[in-house]
Chains A and B, each alone.
Chain A
Amino acid sequence: MGVMTISMGAESEKMLRDMAKAKYGNRKDAISKTIIDSLKAQKDKEEAAANRLRLEWAKGDK
């Protein structure tokens, strides 16, 4: 498991902490879990977009 030190603006930090608290409460790993969830959601969004684009490219074949 990697350990990272990241820096961000006060507004982003508050957003992250609020989101982590709402989702996972006061759990010790709430922040890292929230970041991982966000990365996964972004990856899923990109994959869904790529799949829609592939369908569009295939449409032209008809």
Chain B
Amino acid sequence: MASNNSFLISADVLISAFSPNKRNKNAAIIILEKGIKNKACIVESDFLEFISVIIQKKYVGDIKTLVEDLQAVYKIIKPSNKAIVGAISVAKNKKKDYNVALLIEMMKENNLSVIYSFGLKPVTGFKVKRA
């Protein structure tokens, strides 16, 4: 279970911090620095999304070190079966994007109320922050 001051970091923040593009980069680095101090969480599916983007720009050996470093500093959380079933139900009944529904379910499950993201819209039950 995550600690109370912990928060979730979404894939777009991770991608922006490692991008040469200036857009959102500084804000992303501030968020990731804050995340180091708070042992912030990253949902496994967002982590995989980040890897799928970074894999196009780096050598395999570099990616291995990068993945291990991120795993050492942040908490990578896996969805439970309950969270997956809950997210499917929310996505079907309320016509929400499945990934967003899964994020909400995992935030509930891990007692998290804050997510840092550039693209997500605020959803009832949790706060979306940009930096």
Which residues of A come within 8 Å of B, CB atoms?
Answer: 45-46, 49-50, 52-53, 56-57, 59-62
CB-CB under 8 A from A59, the residues of chain B are 20
Q: Does B17 contact A (CB under 8 A)?
A: yes
Q: In the complex, A46 Cα to B47 Cα: how many Å?
A: 18
Q: In the complex, A56 Cα to B66 Cα: how many Å?
A: 9
Q: Does B70 contact A (CB under 8 A)?
A: yes
CB-CB under 8 A from A46, the residues of chain B are 72-73
CB-CB under 8 A from B32, the residues of chain A are 53, 57
Q: Does B53 contact A (CB under 8 A)?
A: no
Kindly provide the distance from the CB of A60 to the nearest chain B CB, expressed in whole angstroms: 4
Tally of B interface residues using CB under 8 Å: 16
Contact pick for B36, options A50, A60, A62, CB 8 Å: A50
Which residues of B come within 8 Å of A, CB atoms?
Answer: 17-21, 25, 29, 32, 36, 65-66, 68-70, 72-73
Q: Given A60-B19, A60-B20, do A53 and B25 touch, yes or no (CB 8 Å)?
A: no
- The answer to whether B18 touches A57, judged by C-beta atoms less than 8 angstroms apart, is yes
Q: In the complex, A49 Cα to B73 Cα: how many Å?
A: 7
Q: Given A46-B72, A46-B73, A50-B36, do A57 and B29 touch, yes or no (CB 8 Å)?
A: yes
Kindly provide the distance from the CB of A45 to the nearest chain B CB, expressed in whole angstroms: 6
Q: In the complex, A49 Cα to B19 Cα: how many Å?
A: 19
Q: In the complex, A49 Cα to B29 Cα: how many Å?
A: 15
- The answer to whether A53 touches B70, judged by C-beta atoms less than 8 angstroms apart, is yes
Kindly provide the distance from the CB of A61 to the nearest chain B CB, expressed in whole angstroms: 8
